[in-house]
Structure formats: C-alpha cells, structure tokens
Amino acid sequence: MNAVIDRVTKLGRMAIGAVRHAGSMGLFAARLAWVLFPTWTRPRDIVQQIYAAGVLSLVIILVAGGFVGLVLGLQGYNILNKFNASESLGVMVALSLVRELGPVVAALLFAGRAGSAITAEIALMKTTEQLDALEMMAVDPMRRVIGPRFWGALISVPLLAALFSMVGIIGGYLIGVVVLGVDGSSFWGQIAEQMDPWDDVGQGVLKSIAFGAVIALIAVFEGFEAEPTASGMARATTQTVVLSSLAVLGLDFVMTAFMFGA
C-alpha cells in the first residue's frame, strides 16, 4: 500500500515539476519580450550572435541539405518511375523540401549545433557568476546576454532553412537530371508549375520563423535557469536539445494541420 502511495506521490511531484518548469518559462518569456526591442540599441551584439549561431552552422546545414536532396532524388525517382511519372521528380523534391524537410531538419540540426552551444555558454556564465557580476555593474543580463542570443538564433533559423532547401533542390537536380537522366526542363517546369510563392515558400518560412523562436527561447531559458554546477550545465544542455527537438516536431504537426489541412 505504502509503495503505491509512494509511486503516486512521485508522479505528482514530477507533474508539479513539469508545470513549474513550463510556468517559469512563461514568466521568462514575458521578461524577454520586455527587452526584445531595447536589445536593438546594440545591433553589433546581435550581429556577433548571428555569426556564432548562424554562420558557424552553415557547414552542417549545407552538407546535410545536399545529402537530403540527393536521397530524396534517388528515392523519389525509384518510386515515381514505377508510375512513369519521373518528370514530377522536381516538384516532389522541391515541395517536400520547401514545405517540410527544410524548416524541420534545419531546425533540428540547429538545435543540436547552436541551441546547445547557447545554453552551455549562458549556463557557464551563470555558474561562474558572470551574470551576477553584470548585474552588480548595473548591466541588465537579460538585455546584454539573453536578448542578443535570442535574436541571433531567431534570425539565423529561417535563413539556414532557406539555404537548406535550396541546396537540397540542387542535390535533387544533380541526382535526378545529371545522374539518372530525368528531363531537365520538365524538372524545373513542374516546379514552376506547381510551387506557389506564398502557399509553399511563404508558409515554409513562417514555419521556420516559429521553429527559430521556439529553439531560441528554450535555449536561452535552459541556460539562464540552469543549476549553477557542472552537472547542472550538462543537464541544461541535454534538456535544450531534447525539448527543442520535440517542440519543433510537435509544433510542425500543429502548423501543418492549420496550413495544409482541409
């Protein structure tokens, strides 16, 4: 009997912990919203963060995008060829990249490559009491440390997703047209015929902006609220990657249902 009560108590503690975590993230988001625009008084800080989060993620994003495009081209060709519809390879590759894979995979890679780095950096600042030191000097760490990192991630993700999709389409072109011999003009022609600048490209951008905001918020929050110990930092970094990956995938389903659903 006691064992059962213990289990239930444990479950309750976990639930309360999760709700508290979500609540403090909400409060943190409100504090962050307050400094979002004042952060732009120091645009150089933001540029520095776009460099750290965006430019340094370029290599992994471009290489991954190329390979995803190559695989899509190969798999799509094998399936479409069964229906004598290999001319539709271009539109299949382009739409799946622009609508879905570009925003999602770029966001997942970004969470692993840059989100974790942001969390680790802020958590280390907290552990070594740099954030407290800033506050002692009457410098608001929200505005000088958190804000620029949030903006840097938010701006980088849509740009990276766009580059990912573009490199992917070029990869699909290479494997489809150059290697497998699909007709090149119908590859591009079908894309032009069936891809819509607002419905497809625009909504893909909308998705990746939302993913960028979610990853950025989780990354700075986990760093800022990390337990100021070595193991706390480790946990915070893991938490960022796990939470933001799940959030991206969940949000992706919800947004897709709203945008492309019936």
CB-nearer residue toward other proteins: 123 or 162: 162
**DSSP symbols for 35-87:** HHTGGGG-HHHHHHHHHHHTGGGHHHHHHHHHHHHHHHHHHHHHHHHHTT-GG
DSSP 3-state assignment of 129? coil
* Buried-exposed string 70-95: b where 16+ CB fall within 10 A, e elsewhere: bebbbebbeebeeeeebbbbbbbbbb
Contact 113, 60 (CB under 8 A): yes
Provide the mask over 185-224, with x wherever binding to other proteins is found by CB under 8 A and - wherever it is not: ---x--xxxxxxx--xxx--x-------------------
Tell me how crowded residue 160 is: count the other CB atoms within 10 A of its CB: 29
Query: Which range binds other proteins by CB under 8 A, 21-29, 122-130, 155-163, 212-220?
Result: 155-163
Task: Give whichever of 157 and 233 is closer to other proteins, judged by the CB atom.
Answer: 157
Nearest distance from C-beta of residue 89 to other proteins, angstroms: 13
| Number of residues engaging other proteins in binding (CB under 8 A) | 35
Position 158 contacts other proteins (CB under 8 A): yes
> What is the Cα–Cα distance from 24 to 216, expressed in whole angstroms?
16
Tokens representing 35 are: 């400094």
Least Å from the CB of residue 98 to other proteins: 6
Query: Which range, of 34-42, 128-136, 158-166, 246-254, touches other proteins by CB under 8 A?
Result: 158-166
Q: Which of 4, 44, 137, 262 binds other proteins (CB under 8 A)?
A: 44
**Chain centroid to CA 16: how far?**
28
Q: Contact, 110 vs 153, CB < 8 A?
A: yes
Within residues 164-183, the interface with other proteins by CB under 8 A covers 165-166, 169
Given a contact cutoff of 8 angstroms between Cβ atoms, the answer to whether 76 and 60 are in contact is no
Within 88-117, the residues that bind other proteins by CB under 8 A are: 94, 98
163 scored as a contact of other proteins (CB under 8 A): yes
The region of 43-51, 73-81, 123-131, 254-262 touching other proteins under the rule CB under 8 A is 43-51
In sequence order, the 6+-apart residues with CB closer than 8 A to the CB of 140 are 35, 134
Which range of residues in 30-38, 45-53, 112-120, 140-148 is near other proteins by CB under 8 A? Answer: 45-53
Contact status: 60 vs other proteins (CB under 8 A): no
Name the residues that contact other proteins, by CB under 8 A.
44, 47-48, 50-51, 54-55, 58, 83-85, 94, 98, 155-156, 158-160, 162-163, 165-166, 169, 188, 191-197, 200-202, 205
